[in-house]
Amino acid sequence: MKSVAVCYSEHAIKVSDSYCSGPSSIVYSSSRVPTSVCDAVTSLYKVKLDAEHRFLVGFTWTEEMKPGFSIGICDYPFPFSNFCQSYRIVGKSRGAKIFEFDRWRFEVIWDLSRAEYASGPEPVSRFYIIVLVNSEPRLILGDNEHEHELNKYSRFDMGFSLISKSEHFSGNSLFSTRAKFCNTGSIHDIVIRCGGVNRQGRPALSVFIDKKNVIQVKRLKWNFRGNQTIFLDGLVVDLMWDVHDLFFNPTGGYAMFLFRTRRGSDSRLWLEESNKNSDRPEFSLLISVGKNSN
């Protein structure tokens, strides 16, 4: 009998390297419309301390806090909105901060003095952030630029993983980002065009992953909410969108896009997890887009 994941993969849109390198009937083309600006990013990590204890550690980056950030900590499995403690680290490009959470002693060490940024407020290279719990490193972010500083922690077994990321954009109807849906997968380029018009002059929605068009919604006012299943990196990924406010909320609102990996036994969208301590691959990317005021 075929597994649920295999059945989904047979009917899902597949995104593969072979497709990107070969010809296609529908390909991504560059646009003269400027890309929207990403002005806030929140990354949420699951940190394993031992067999019984896990934490969620979240980092939020905004243009206003450059070169700083905020960090939030709570027990796992609580949602990000219920963070028990959060701290803003603003105005210092390098330093350390110690605080207590429950009976655990957290120390955050960071160096953003030479950090390089792409189009958003989150650094992409030449930086590091180290989170120690009771003097042992449990989470390290950064790159090889600071290999000398990070080598001292290489002997420790750190069990952490990025489980969700949310990005907020403002500006035009075209925006792009990059995402990695599992530790063993590739980094994928994601481009979304929303609210523009197609050749028939109607509002349309197009989503590209690695230059492959995975969604083409022509009657967007009728299909302002929907979902599509994608199969990439050996995972079933649900792509869901809600652009209702773009057309029916004249005072504001957001367009929302959610990419969420699905467990092989899941058969429903938005399924509440029955086993929160599962070590299965899990990742979600939430993109929100502010309504263009122009």
Q: How far apart are CA 173 and CA 220, in angstroms?
A: 14
Question: What values do phi and psi take at 86, rounded to 5?
Answer: -140, 150
Are residues 98 and 110 in contact, defined by beta-carbon separation less than 8 angstroms?
Answer: no
pLDDT higher than 90, residue 169? yes
pLDDT tens-digit map of 101-151: 878 899 999 999 999 998 889 999 999 999 999 999 999 998 766 666 677
- Looking at mean pLDDT, say which of 151-155, 159-163, 188-192, 200-204 comes out highest: 188-192
**Residue 35 — pLDDT band, cuts 50, 70, 90?**
confident
pLDDT score recorded for residue 8: 42
Between 275 and 235, the more confident residue is: 235
pLDDT higher than 80, residue 272? no
Q: Which of 114, 76, 74, 112 is nearest to 95 (CA)?
A: 112
205-222 average pLDDT score: 90
